[in-house]
Each structure stands twice: as structure tokens, then as C-alpha cells.
């Protein structure tokens, strides 16, 4: 084992040991209704997180092996979510797992997981034919249905068994099958780790060993259930934590994230999601009889949360204006939607709509649904971004969405009020808790999926976007926890404090990001200044010296005509390189050319030269430029780089043209300007159905430094260096076509 792997293993083992010790030392009640909800909701949440982490692997390798691993984890999620909901329904009923019949169901779960993982090992892609049943899209969903159906069948038979002896005998048989499966699986993993290269073999082995240990504990309590059953829960939780790392860490490494960053992301995500659960349940166990009613504190907490989401949403919005990714828009919508929801919660506290007995669950349910939907949209945007379109953030669409959120909140409160009149205790019972819990679990699944994909897309870089998404997990956890505990209890207050911690974390992290970025800007300015000086002194001086030497050589009379031609071409190339070097100095230094470095330059001649260069540079495309003016009439203050400016424009347009690029250019003297200018309008036709999309794309390229539109960024910067200006406009040309026009204006030059 490499040192890095050894350190990782030690860190995880210590973490799991500490959490397990704290959990056991808290002497958690194992035979009460509250403990049943707590235990199964924690296991369900861990399984949901593990399922989402494992799902990332299927995005890049949708082989049956990886899909079956996801099936095993979703199976665990479904079992424990169902158990949690069952406790909500059985108000006041002790934890179910206190009889041999119910411990038998736990053994069925752990054994089924072992069989599914063993089946996954045999689903190696190279051994499967294309016609194999496992290649079909419906195979894995049917496998999940079959596993759940088997569990349900055992449940029905289990309830009908007349004697405990029959239950115990069945439990021993199922346990032997499970242990055999786990043992065989661990042996295979240790012998042929290469087959599990897409999963962390050490962590995967530890996960399987933890579940096997849980089965052993269940065997001990099968005939006579005791508090030792809690230890099996601890082993299952540890197994799921190891599974998150075993699946999430290799996925991030394989998509290009550095190893230590990938490991940090997975461990931090696990702590960020699981830590509040463990802490909250420990506090609730210690202070289970404490109830503290204080609306003022909750108002301050939710007001802080509203400010928090609005600040992050505003920052993301302004970042999206300079450069955006396809997932920006859903995240901005999510943050501002939670601003509305948190504001609604504050208003409900002031208006006393719910009184002191009921949670404003309508806002939480709608928030959970919005989180789930928007995060799933963001996941889809990352996996399949629209091609050939500019990532945009439609203000109108967002405003319509926010209005819809307000309307849905109002309608939800109206419906709640009507139902409340019919049954005042309805929303303090299992109905409201069930809805909150389900929306919370779905949101958690979408959140983890998005975090893994965003980390893969950004290389694990920390940013405002990752901050926004990470802290969003605290809202989702808060929803799930509030469904676990009664109103104003210690556990409920801990969930509230989590939101307060999110606000404090925001301000500290934003301050850190600001200072870090400010440091980067200062360092960049320093390096830019050095680079500009090197370009301006050393390289330019060498170009001048080389041109001088070549000029002396050209004065020799004994040189052949062919050598003289080659020498002339060399001088021309070095002159072009000198111009480009001076342009680089201007681009890096950021200062426009001083008047002494500019000269009267024929605008029309530069356009024609650029068209000729574009035709030669891309012979597979046809470039047609029609200009209404003649050479020798339009002179602007520029230099030879003006031709490079128009060449970059034509090259950028030609690359996006189908076969032929037709440009119509017109020149106009702007004598009314404070400084006399020459304007040139270069237009190309586009179909009406594509004109708006094309215009947005070109404007995006012209305003930002997108890697896909560097030609347009160079056009923008060269125009600035010549003290000119450029913008894009569109107008109708015919019923089917629109004209997209690049409008340039350059200072007119005075001829000597």
C-alpha cells in the first residue's frame, strides 16, 4: 500500500471509530419509536449519498457491473426509507427490530446486498456479448424490483410464521448464504483487484467487511434481540461511508481531478452530509426532554438564511454575465428561490399562521421540490450541454420562475389552510413529516450527483459555485432532520443552528475567496508587467536588429534574384512577427497604442488583404467579401495589425459557416463625432430561426475570453488598442433571413 493510501485508510478508520464510539457512548435508546426513525433515516441518508456517488461512475462507464452496484445501494436506500416512513405511520410504536422475525428481515437485507455485489463482479464488460440480457436498459431496474419483491415476500412470510424456531432456523440459513457471499467476494477482490480498477479496492473491501460484520452481529441477536443490535447499525453505517469513498474517489481521479483534491472532496462531502446527522441525534438523545419555544431566534436564523442565499445568488448572477457555464442558471434560480422561501418562513413567524405547535412545512416541501428539480436540471446541463449555443441566463425566464414560486407558496398555504380546518392535527402527524422526508432524500440524491459532476467538470477547484452548492446541502439536511424531531425540541433546534452555521460559513468563505482572488490578481499584474517588459524590450529590440541586418544584406549587388526574393520574404515575415509582438505587448500591458506608433492605414485595403488571407488559410471554405468603397479613400490611425483584426474576424466567422461565407462591407465617415471616425459595417446573412442564437453567441465571444471564441476576443482587444469600438446588431433582411452586422469605428487619419 502506498503512503498516500495508508494515510487515507488511517484517516477514515479513525473517523469511523470516533463516530462509532460517540454513538455507543451516548447510550442510544434502541427500543423506542424515536430511535427507529433516527436510525433508519441516518442509514437511508447514507445509502442515498452512496447511490449518488456510485451513479457518477455509470456516467462514464455504463457497464452492467457499475449499474448493479448502484442497484445494491438503491436497494438499501429503499429499505431504510420505507422503514422510516413506517415509523412515521406507527406513531408511538417502539423500534421494530426487537423480535427474531424482524431481525430476520435485516439478515435478508444484508444477504441480498452481498448477492448483488457478487453478481456485479461477474458482470465484466469483456465477458458479455452485445446480445446479453444484462446489456438491455431494463435489466438493472428489473433486478432492483426483483430484490425489493423478494424482501417483501420474506416480510409477508415472516409475519405469518407461527413459531420463533422456524424464524431462527430461516435466519441461520440466510446468514450462512450471506457470509458465504461476503467471504467469496472479499477473496475475489484481494486476488483480482485489477478487475475493480474503477473502484478503490481497499475501501471497497472495508465496506464489504463492515456489512459482513453487521451480519455476524445480527446472528447473535437473532434468537434474543438486545441492545447489541445497535452495533450492527454502526457497522452498516461504516460500510456505507466506505462505499461512498470507494466509488466517488476513483471517479473523480479518472475524470482528471488531482488525487488529494479528489479524496478531500469525497471525505469533506461525507463529513458535511453525515456530521450534522450524527451531531443532531446525539444532542437529541442527551436533551430528549428539552423543549424551548422562541420565535425571535428562529426569525433571526431564517432572516440570515434569506440574506445568505440572496448574496450568493447575486454573486453568481454577476459572474454569469462575464462568463457562465450551463449549470449556472439552475443554481442561480435555486439560490434566489430559497431567498423567497426563507422570506416566506420569516413572514409566517411574524403572522403567526402556524402558531407554536406546527412547522411551516409548506415552505420546506416546496423548497425540497425546487432543490430536487433544479439540481436534476443542473446535472442534465453538465452531462448534455446544448451544442453551438451560448450559455445564457434569461432574466425574463428567471423572473417568471420566481413569480411561480411565490404563487405556488400562496396556493400551498391556501390548500393547507383548507385541510387544516378538516383535521387540525394532520400536519403535525406523519403526513407532513413523510412529505418533508421524501423531498429531502430526493434533493440529497440530486445534490450529491451534481457535486460529483461539478467537481469533475471544474477539476475540484473551489469557487463561489461550489460554495453555493455545498451550503445548499445544509438546507436539505435541515429538512430531513426537522422531519425526524418534534417542533421546538433539542434536535429541531440543532437543525436550525445548522442554517445559522451556513450563514457564518458563507461570510468567512467569501472573505477568504476575495482575499485569495485579490492575491492572484496582484501576482498576475506583476507577472504581466514583467512579461510586457520582456516583450517590449528584448524581443522587439531583437526584431529591429534582425531587420537591420537583413536590410544590409539586401543592399549587396552580387546577390542572385532568387536569394533576394527569399530575403524579401524573410523580412516581411519578421515584420509581421514584430507587429504581432507589439500587439502582444499591447494586449498584455492593456494600454492602447500611443499616436507615434500609429500611421495612416487604408481601411479598405486591410479588409481585402484579410479576405485573401482567410481564403488561403481555409481553402475548404469559400470567403466572399463585397465592399462598397475603393482603395485609397478611407484611412484610419492604425498599423499592419488592422489586417490581422479583420482576418481574425473572418476566421472566426468562417469556422462557423457551413460552406460559403458572404460578407457585405460598407464604409461611412462619421464627421459629427468629437474625433472624426471611419465606420465600417460588415454583415452576413443568417436564417431567422438561427439569427437570435447566433447573435447571442457572437456577443458572448466578443465580451468574454471564451476558449471557443478567441478570434473574437482578439478582435475586441485589437479594436481597443486602436482606440476604436465594435458592437454587433441585427436587422431583418427578408422574410426568411436576418442580417447580422459587426460595426467598427476607428479614428480617421490625417494624410501627410
The residues that bridge with 67 in the sheet, in sequence order, are none
**Average pLDDT for residues 403-410, to the nearest whole number?**
90
Average pLDDT of the residues of the chain:
75
More confident residue, 210 or 296: 210
Residue 278: closest CA among 110, 491, 80, 597: 491
DSSP secondary structure, 361-415, as one string: HHHHHHHHHHHHHHHHHHHHHHHSPPTTS-----HHHHHHHHHHHHHHHHHHHHH
DSSP code, position 681:
E
237: pLDDT strictly greater than 50: yes
Lowest mean pLDDT of 67-71, 295-299, 350-354, name the range. 350-354
Cα–Cα distance measured from residue 546 to residue 31, given in angstroms and rounded to the nearest whole number = 90
Contacts of 167 (CB under 8 A, 6+ apart): 100, 101, 104, 158, 161
Q: Give CA–CA dist 249/101, Å, rounded.
A: 38
In whole angstroms, give the CA distance from residue 246 to residue 266: 10
pLDDT at 666 over 50: yes
Closest of 452, 480, 476, 478 to residue 466, by C-alpha:
452
The sign of the CA dihedral 148, 149, 150, 153 is positive
387 in Cβ contact with 459 (< 8 Å): no
Comparison of pLDDT for 91 and 383, the residue scoring more = 383
Strands 725-732 and 635-638: unpaired
Q: What is the mean pLDDT of residues 179-188?
A: 81
d(CA 439, CA 190): 39
Whether 23 contacts 278, CB under 8 Å: yes
46 pLDDT above the threshold of 60: yes
By DSSP bridging, strand 660-670 and strand 677-687 are antiparallel
Mean pLDDT of 708-734: 84
Cell of 564: 533576394
Tell me the C-alpha distance between 543 and 575, whole Å. 8
First to last CA, the chain: 78
pLDDT tops 60 at residue 586 = no
When pLDDT is cut at 50, 70 and 90, the band that residue 407 belongs to is very high
Q: Characterise 485 by phi-psi region: left (phi > 0), alpha (psi -120 to 50), beta (else).
A: beta
**Average pLDDT, integer, range 607-616:** 84
Distances (CA, A) of 288 to 23, 31, 521, 655: 15, 15, 52, 68
How many residues are given for the chain?
752
Q: Extract the C-alpha cell encoding 191.
A: 486476488
pTM, full prediction: 0.66
Tell me how far apart the alpha carbons of residues 448 and 514 are, in angstroms, rounded to a whole number.
26
Nearest Cα to 444, choosing from 422, 400, 474?
474
3-state secondary structure of 356: coil
In this predicted model, what pLDDT tens digit does every residue of 725-746 receive, in sequence order?
898 888 888 878 888 889 999 9
Query: Would you say residue 178 has pLDDT above 50?
Result: yes
215 against 477, higher pLDDT? 215
Q: Which residues contact 249 (CB under 8 A, 6 or more apart)?
A: 200, 203, 262, 263, 266
**Pairing between β-strand 622-627 and β-strand 660-670 as defined by DSSP bridges:** parallel
Contacts 24+ apart (CB under 8 A), 342-351: 342/302, 342/303, 342/305, 342/306, 342/309, 343/306, 344/409, 345/302, 346/299, 346/302, 346/303, 346/306, 349/295, 349/298, 349/299, 349/302, 350/299
Answer whether residue 454 shows pLDDT above 70: yes
Q: How confident is the model at residue 228 (pLDDT cuts 50, 70, 90)?
A: confident
User: What cell does 365 get?
Assistant: 416541501
Question: What is the per-residue pLDDT for 429?
Answer: 55
Which pLDDT band holds residue 525 (cuts at 50, 70, 90)? low
Rounded CA separation 53/22 (Å)? 26
With a CB cutoff of 8 Å and minimum separation 6, the contacts of 425 are none
Long-range residue pairs from 253-257, CB within 8 A, at least 24 positions apart, any chain = 254/60, 254/198, 255/60, 255/456, 256/456, 256/459, 257/455, 257/456, 257/459, 257/460
State the pLDDT confidence band at 447, using cuts at 50, 70 and 90: confident
Q: Torsion over CA of 701, 704, 705 and 708, rounded to 10 degrees?
A: -30
pLDDT on residue 575? 63
Q: Give 318 or 584, the one with higher predicted confidence.
A: 318
- Please check the confidence at residue 416 and state whether its pLDDT lies above 70: yes
Residue 116, phi then psi, degrees to nearest 5: -65, -45
Helices (H), 627-746: 641-655, 688-703, 710-721
Residue corresponding to grid cell 453551438: 388
Which of 281, 243, 221 lies closest to 19, judged by CA? 281
Q: Compute the average pLDDT of residues 510-528.
A: 65
Instruction: Check residues 126 and 644 and name the one with the higher pLDDT.
Output: 644
C-alpha triplet 514, 304, 359: angle, nearest 5°:
145
Instruction: Please give the pLDDT value at position 206.
Output: 83
Spatial distance between the Cα atoms of 262 and 203, rounded to a whole number of angstroms: 15
User: What percent of the chain stands above pLDDT 70?
Assistant: 64
Given this model, what pLDDT does residue 744 score? 92
Find which of 103-117, 430-444, 519-533 is predicted with most confidence, using mean pLDDT.
103-117
Average of pLDDT values for 297-325? 76
Report helix, strand or coil for 191: helix
- At 183 the pLDDT is 83
Q: Report the C-alpha gap between 625 and 665 in whole angstroms.
A: 7
- Cβ–Cβ < 8 Å for 198, 66: yes
pLDDT in tens, 108-130: 888 998 888 888 876 654 455 55
Give the Cα separation of 446 and 465 in Å (integer): 16
CA angle 18–21–23, rounded 5-degree value? 110
Q: Are 244 and 270 in contact (CB under 8 A)?
A: yes
Question: Cα–Cα distance between 708 and 713 in angstroms, integer?
Answer: 10
pLDDT of residue 126: 46
Lowest mean pLDDT among 107-116, 436-445, 473-482: 473-482
pLDDT band for position 723 (cuts 50, 70, 90):
confident
**Residue 402, exposed/middle/buried by CB under 10 A (0-12, 13-18, 19+)?**
middle
Domains, the chain, with CATH or none? 1-129+136-286 (1.20.1070), 595-747 (3.30.565.10)
- Residue 196: predicted pLDDT: 46
Would you say residue 194 has pLDDT above 50?
Answer: no
Mean pLDDT value across residues 472-483? 72
CB atoms within 10 A of CB 318: 10
Give the whole-number percent of the chain exceeding pLDDT 90: 1
Amino acid at each position: 500500500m502506498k503512503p498516500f493510501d495508508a494515510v487515507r485508510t488511517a484517516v477514515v478508520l479513525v473517523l469511523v471509530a470516533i463516530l462509532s464510539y460517540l454513538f455507543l457512548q451516548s447510550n442510544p435508546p434502541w427500543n423506542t419509536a424515536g430511535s427507529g426513525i433516527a436510525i433508519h433515516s441516518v442509514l437511508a441518508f447514507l445509502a442515498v449519498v452512496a447511490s449518488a456517488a456510485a451513479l457518477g461512475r455509470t456516467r462514464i462507464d455504463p457497464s452492467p457491473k457499475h449499474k448493479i452496484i448502484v442497484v445494491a445501494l438503491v436497494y438499501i436506500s429503499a429499505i431504510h426509507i420505507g422503514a422510516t416512513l413506517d415509523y412515521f405511520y406507527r406513531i408511538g410504536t417502539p423500534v421494530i427490530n426487537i423480535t427474531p422475525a424482524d431481525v430476520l428481515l435485516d439478515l435478508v437485507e444484508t444477504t441480498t446486498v452481498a448477492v448483488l455485489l457478487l453478481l456485479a463482479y461477474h458482470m465484466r464488460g469483456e465477458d458479455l456479448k452485445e446480445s446479453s440480457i444484462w446489456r438491455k436498459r431494463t435489466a438493472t431496474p428489473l433486478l432492483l424490483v426483483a430484490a425489493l419483491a423478494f424482501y417483501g415476500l420474506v416480510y409477508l412470510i415472516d409475519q405469518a410464521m407461527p413459531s420463533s424456531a422456524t424464524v431462527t432456523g430461516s435466519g441461520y440459513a440466510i446468514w450462512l448464504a450471506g457470509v458465504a457471499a461476503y467471504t467469496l467476494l472479499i477473496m475475489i477482490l484481494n486476488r483480482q483487484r485489477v478487475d475493480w480498477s474503477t473502484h478503490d479496492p481497499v475501501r471497497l473491501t472495508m465496506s464489504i467487511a463492515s456489512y459482513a460484520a453487521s451480519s455476524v452481529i445480527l446472528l447473535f441477536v437473532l434468537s434474543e434481540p438486545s441492545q447489541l443490535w445497535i452495533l450492527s447499525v454502526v457497522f452498516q453505517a461504516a460500510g456505507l461511508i466506505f462505499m461512498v469513498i470507494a466509488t466517488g474517489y476513483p471517479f473523480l481521479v479518472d475524470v482528471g481531478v488531482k488525487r488529494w483534491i479528489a479524496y478531500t472532496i469525497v471525505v469533506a462531502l461525507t463529513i458535511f452530509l453525515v456530521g450534522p446527522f450524527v451531531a443532531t441525534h446525539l444532542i437529541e438523545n442527551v436533551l430528549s426532554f428539552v423543549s424551548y419555544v422562541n420565535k425571535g431566534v428562529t426569525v433571526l436564523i431564517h432572516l440570515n438564511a434569506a440574506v445568505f442565499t440572496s448574496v450568493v445568488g447575486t454573486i453568481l448572477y454577476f459572474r454569469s454575465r462575464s462568463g457562465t457555464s450551463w449549470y449556472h442558471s439552475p443554481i442561480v434560480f435555486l439560490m434566489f428561490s430559497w431567498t423567497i422561501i426563507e422570506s416566506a418562513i420569516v413572514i409566517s413567524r411574524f403572522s403567526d399562521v402556524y402558531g407554536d405547535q406546527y412547522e411551516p412545512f409548506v415552505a420546506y416541501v416546496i423548497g425540497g421540490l425546487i432543490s430536487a428539480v433544479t439540481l436534476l436540471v443542473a446535472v442534465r446541463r453538465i452531462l448534455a450541454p446544448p451544442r453551438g449555443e451560448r450559455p445564457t441566463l434569461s432574466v425574463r425566464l428567471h423572473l417568471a420562475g420566481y413569480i411561480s414560486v411565490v404563487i405556488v407558496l400562496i396556493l400551498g398555504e391556501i390548500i393547507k389552510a383548507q385541510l387544516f380546518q378538516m383535521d387540525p392535527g394532520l400536519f403535525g402527524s406523519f403526513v407532513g413529516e413523510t412529505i418533508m422526508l421524501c423531498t429531502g432524500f430526493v434533493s440529497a440524491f440530486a445534490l450529491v450527483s451534481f457535486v460529483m459532476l461539478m467537481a469533475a467538470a471544474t477539476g475540484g477547484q473551489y469557487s463561489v459555485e461550489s460554495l453555493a452548492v455545498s451550503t445548499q446541502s445544509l438546507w436539505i439536511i435541515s429538512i430531513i432532520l426537522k422531519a425526524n424531531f418534534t417542533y421546538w425540541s433539542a434536535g429541531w433546534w440543532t437543525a436550525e443552528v445548522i442554517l445559522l452555521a451556513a450563514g457564518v460559513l458563507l461570510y468567512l468563505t467569501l472573505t477568504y475567496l476575495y482575499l485569495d482572488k485579490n492575491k492572484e490578481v496582484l501576482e498576475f499584474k506583476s507577472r504581466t508587467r514583467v512579461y510586457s517588459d520582456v516583450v517590449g524590450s528584448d524581443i522587439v529590440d531583437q526584431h529591429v536588429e534582425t531587420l537591420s541586418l537583413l536590410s544590409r544584406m539586401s543592399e549587396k549587388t552580387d546577390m542572385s534574384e532568387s536569394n533576394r526574393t527569399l530575403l524579401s520574404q524573410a523580412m516581411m515575415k519578421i515584420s509581421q512577427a514584430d507587429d504581432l509582438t507589439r500587439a502582444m505587448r499591447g494586449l498584455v500591458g492593456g494600454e492602447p497604442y500611443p499616436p507615434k506608433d500609429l500611421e495612416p492605414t487604408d481601411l479598405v485595403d486591410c479588409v481585402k488583404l484579410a479576405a485573401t488571407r482567410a481564403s488561403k488559410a481555409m481553402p475548404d471554405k469559400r470567403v466572399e467579401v463585397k465592399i462598397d468603397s475603393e482603395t485609397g479613400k478611407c484611412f484610419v490611425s492604425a498599423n499592419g495589425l488592422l489586417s490581422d483584426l479583420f482576418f481574425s474576424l473572418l476566421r472566426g466567422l468562417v469556422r462557423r459557416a457551413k460552406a460559403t461565407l458572404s460578407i457585405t462591407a460598407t464604409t461611412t465617415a462619421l464627421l459629427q463625432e468629437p474625433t472624426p471616425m471611419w465606420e465600417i459595417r460588415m454583415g452576413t446573412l443568417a436564417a431567422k430561426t438561427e439569427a437570435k442564437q447566433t447573435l447571442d453567441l457572437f456577443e458572448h465571444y466578443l465580451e468574454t475570453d471564451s476558449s471557443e471564441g478567441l478570434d473574437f476576443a482578439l478582435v475586441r482587444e485589437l479594436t481597443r488598442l486602436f482606440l476604436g469600438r465594435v458592437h454587433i446588431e441585427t436587422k431583418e433582411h427578408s422574410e426568411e433571413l436576418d442580417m447580422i452586422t459587426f460595426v467598427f469605428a476607428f479614428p480617421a487619419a490625417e494624410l501627410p
